[in-house]
Structure 1
Amino acid sequence: MEKNVEIEVRNLNFYYGETLVLKNINLTIYKNKVTALIGPSGCGKTTFLRCLNRMHDLYAGNKYEGEIIFEEKNILNKNIDLISLRSKIGMVFQKPTPFPMSIFDNVAYGL
């Protein structure tokens, strides 16, 4: 991976259960550059962003295929430390969506 590349997405497919919702996504995100995802409501922008820190893992039945390379590692690999990953790739969404756990656990999760 080039030195100025922060994240490299290769042939990413994402499924909610058996339903393919992201198909063959390839994208290079460069360091110190602005990257915009633009499209109509419901086209998969948020679903894609949630793939970048594996937020979909919190719900049963979701499946990833392909690669997301960050710090020279495929973050879709099952042995990735998700707490470390999420401390490096954070997200703030327009509408807050708590994780499927108690209020206390949602607040404490980021600590």
Structure 2
Amino acid sequence: MTELARAVQAQPHAVAPHTHIEVRGLNFHYHAQHVLKNVDLDIPAREVTAIIGPSGCGKSTLLRVMNRIYAIYPGLVARGEVRLDGENILDARYSMNRLRSKVGMVFQKPVPFPMTIFENIAWGIRHHHKLARAELETRVEQALRDAALWDEVKDKLKVSALGLSGGQQQRLCIAR
């Protein structure tokens, strides 16, 4: 049993007013290595939940499973249930596009798309909405303002996002 699984099992299950994410019997394998074992966890809606543990205990793996980031890599397998508002996101029939619209992740090391600052934000908006150019520009600006980045990049929107500082890349990913 991993440190994470022991820590989760050691916590009494309090009844939350609304469970937003429910993990049941989660097992995860990196090829032959069984790294998450029978994890059960309830995450209530509209509350801050901290996942704390030593390096290598499975915290990041658990978060990656909740976003199915592992799914594009062969040999990585999740079994069990991760329910988001009652629906099992590990079910292959659960749309990745739908999941991405509900669950986002910003990593310690940000990963901007290899395109301009503007396109990093506009890409997702275009994917979900068919907007006139003026409305798209307004939405991109608002997203950058909401992430406290607009004033730093408003004159560099056609520049590659990969040239931003680490902190700016982090805020760009939040805006995206």
Tell whether the structures are fold-level matches, with TM greater than 0.5.
yes
Provide closer, same or farther for how the CA distance between residues 31 and 90 of structure 1 changes in structure 2, counting only shifts above 3 A.
same
Larger radius of gyration: 2
Higher RCO (C-alpha 8 Å, min separation 6): 1
1:18 counterpart = 2:32: yes
SS at match of 1:103: coil
Which residue is equivalent to 1:93?
Answer: 107
Inter-partner Cα distance in structure 2 for 1:82 and 1:28 = 22
Secondary structure of the residue aligned to 2:92 is coil
Q: For structure 1, list consecutive stretches of 5 or more residues without a partner in the other structure.
A: none
C-alpha contact 2:23 2:83 (8 A) present in aligned 1? yes
Report what 1:9 is aligned to: 23
**Residue among 44, 50, 54 paired with 1:40:** 54
- The amino acid of 1:103's aligned partner reads P
> After the TM superposition, which parts of structure 1 deviate over 4 Å for at least 4 consecutive aligned residues?
none
Pairing partner for 1:103 from 78, 91, 114: 114
Find the aligned partners of 2:46 and 2:85 in 1 and give their Cα distance.
15
1:57 corresponds to which letter in structure 2? A
Q: 1:33 to 1:22 in 2, by over 3 A?
A: same
Distance of aligned partners of 1:38 and 1:65 in 2 relative to their CA distance in 1, 3 Å threshold: same
CA RMSD of aligned residues (A): 2.0
SS in 1 for 2:48: coil
* Residue 98 (structure 2) aligned to one of 84, 91, 94: 84
Give 1 or 2: higher strand fraction. Answer: 1
Secondary structure of the residue aligned to 2:67 is: coil
Q: Kindly indicate which of the two structures has a greater share of residues assigned to helix.
A: 2
* 1:62 partnered with 2:76: yes
What secondary structure does 2:57 align onto? Answer: coil
Q: Is the 8 A contact 2:19 2:85 kept in 1?
A: no
1:28-49 CA-partner distances (Å, limit 9, x unpaired)? 0001111100011111100100
State the Cα deviation string for residues 56-110 of structure 1 (Å, max 9, x = none). 0121111011101112211110111001101111011111357xxx835xx58x6
Q: Distance in 2 between matches of 1:44 and 1:57?
A: 17
Alignment: residue pair count: 104
Instruction: Classify the secondary structure of the residue corresponding to 1:68.
Output: strand
Gaps of 5+ in 2: 1-15, 125-176
Alpha-carbon distance between aligned partners in 2 of 1:16 and 1:56, rounded to the nearest angstrom: 9
